[in-house]
Amino acid sequence: MKKHIMPAVTIAVALAADLYTKHLALANLGYYNTVDFFGGFLRFDLTFNQGGVFGILQGYKNFFLVVSVAVLLLMVAYYFYEKAMPGLFRMAMGLIIAGALGNIIDRLIPGRIGVVDFISVGVDGVYRWPTFNVADMVIVTGAFLLVIVVYREDKKKAVDTGDTGQ
């Protein structure tokens, strides 16, 4: 039970940060009201994503709600299935679960057009990354940490079995 405290706290903090920043974006940014930092490289610009990651398949809000819930359930099952994983694994899963919950909550709010995105990074006229939110950031961070955990665990197993991969 004790090993679940860190992921629970991670989920609570990341989800609260996502919901609070979305609330701030909705309260302080309107359409066509952007706030620029670092010469416009970082921009807060309110958008609503009715599609999937990076805005693909716009207009399929309900489809992505179903997909998001299915992925969330798979991630929770995977978390409980992998019993002997290190703390970094539990933290990574907490981040991914929190981000998924944040975006699912957005899709469930009645009258909300789509997921609230408001962070934009890039240089106009050169390249600007698709607008995102804190939930997206914690999902990506969690996925990156998960890749590190899997790599370390595979390397550890190879050393334990004497398989050097050559």
For residue 28, CA distances in Å to 31, 41, 129, 134 come to: 10, 20, 22, 16
Domain annotation covers residue 114: yes
Dump pLDDT digits (tens) for 80-89: 888 878 889 9
Domain annotation covers residue 18: yes
Whether residue 136 lies in the annotated active site = yes
pTM: 0.86
| Contact call for residues 15 and 138 (beta carbons, < 8 A) | no
Domain annotation covers residue 34: no
- Structurally, the chain folds into a number of domains equal to 1
Catalytic, out of 18, 45, 106, 117: 117
Q: Which two tokens stand for residue 40?
A: 């416009």
Backbone angles phi, psi at 113, to 5 degrees: -65, -40
Dump pLDDT digits (tens) for 112-150: 888 999 999 999 989 999 899 999 999 999 999 999 998
Report the pLDDT value the prediction gives residue 157, as an integer from 0 to 100: 80
In Å, the largest CA–CA distance within the chain is 60
Beta bridge partner(s), residue 116: 48
Domain that holds residue 72: 2-27+39-161
Dump pLDDT digits (tens) for 34-46: 888 998 899 999 9
Domain annotation covers residue 32: no
Catalytic, out of 136, 154, 160, 163: 136
Domain annotation covers residue 33: no
> Residue 7's pLDDT band (boundaries 50, 70, 90)?
very high
Domain annotation covers residue 137: yes
Domain annotation covers residue 115: yes
Domain annotation covers residue 14: yes
| Cα angle: 49, vertex 100, 156; to 5 degrees | 130
Residues 6+ apart with CB under 8 A from 134: 14, 17, 18, 21, 22, 99, 102, 119
Backbone angles phi, psi at 12, to 5 degrees: -60, -45
